[in-house]
Amino acid sequence: MHVSIAGGMDKMAERARVFGCEAVQIFSRSPQGGKARALTPDELHSARQTLAGAGIAPVVVHVPYFANLCAAADGLRAYAVETVAGELERAALLGSPYVVTHLGWPAAGAGVEAGFGLVEASVRAVFDRARQGAGDVMLLLENTAGAGRELGSSLEELAEVCHRLEMRCGGRVGVCLDTCHAHSAGYDLSGPQGVSAFVGLATALLGTNRIRVIHANDAVGTVGERKDRHAPVGQGAIGEAGFRALLSEPGLRECPFILETPGSDEERAENLARLKHIRAGEPL
């Protein structure tokens, strides 16, 4: 589940251990912006030791939401490139294999095609800038709910960006699929048939090797409503049946499921227990 880094990475790792995480996601810096705090060798060593001792892997780093890789203004786009490149470098220090980012939102009237071009150029610039310090960290593009001008609400849009980047970035670009975003964008995940259709299409368009992380969030509102409003597991439009299908879907078996449900770390830990009950086939 997503865990707070308040107090440092070592404190985050200990919280993840206490909550019973098997995988963890973090913001490595404040998602509100400002200068990123340097990560000290001592906290990194302690965090990595705690996570390894508890068998928690992978660590997934999420880029702050303000980074807009298809911003029209050169300055804003350069800031997004700098931010994402920095997150790749910080992820490498943490031993994290994945950094997750949204594509962003093109300027009004710019159009999807223009947005694709800007994202492609921005991601190439990210890897050029971070080449020396990013190790083999993969950048995962996350699907969106499709509110407003967001890019990436359809699997076809994600596939288009991945294909454009394949020659230049090779195996360094993958995908994170968010269940709330997918349901809100029009993919019905409330039962086995819809889940199977969604995963089948994702696999056909993206390939199994690109799908690396699942954000396991229930959705407020009906399918196709295009609102990014997460709900606790089993208490939204996807529901218990949808999550039972998602957790038993063969095409997602190798992916870590990360909770981003509303509330505190403690409330997410309650949802984590619910997911474990569903995985075990137990009633909620």
Looking up residue 95, the CATH number of its domain turns out to be: 3.20.20.150
In this predicted structure, what is the pLDDT of residue 4?
95
* 151 located within any domain: yes
Grade residue 260 by pLDDT with cuts at 50, 70 and 90.
very high
Report if residue 21 sits inside a domain: no
CB 60 within 8 A of CB 23: yes
Residue 253 lies in a domain: yes
Residue 157: predicted pLDDT: 96
Does residue 127 lie within any of the structural domains? Answer: yes
Has residue 220 been placed in a domain?
A: yes
Residue 4 maps to a domain: no
Query: Can you tell me the distance from the alpha carbon of 57 to that of 71, in angstroms, rounded to the nearest whole number?
Result: 33
Query: CA–CA separation, 35 vs 24, rounded Å?
Result: 23
Distance from C-alpha of 274 to C-alpha of 164, rounded to nearest angstrom:
39
Rounded to the nearest 5 degrees, what angle is found at the Cα of 147, between the Cα atoms of 144 and 153? 30
* pLDDT tens digits for range 151-184: 999 999 999 999 999 888 878 999 999 999 999 9
pLDDT the model gives residue 32: 84
Domain that holds residue 262: 60-278
Helix, coil or strand: residue 237: coil
Tokens of 9: 């990475």
**Does any domain span residue 40?**
no
Number of domains observed in the structure of the chain: 1
pLDDT digits (tens, 9 = 90+) for 6-27: 999 999 999 999 999 999 999 9
Quick check: 73 pLDDT over 90?
A: yes
Q: How confident is the model at residue 127 (pLDDT cuts 50, 70, 90)?
A: very high
Residue 36 located in a structural domain: no
Q: How far apart are CA 179 and CA 216, in angstroms?
A: 6
pTM of the model: 0.96
- In this structure, what are the phi and psi dihedrals at residue 273, rounded to the nearest 5 degrees? -60, -40
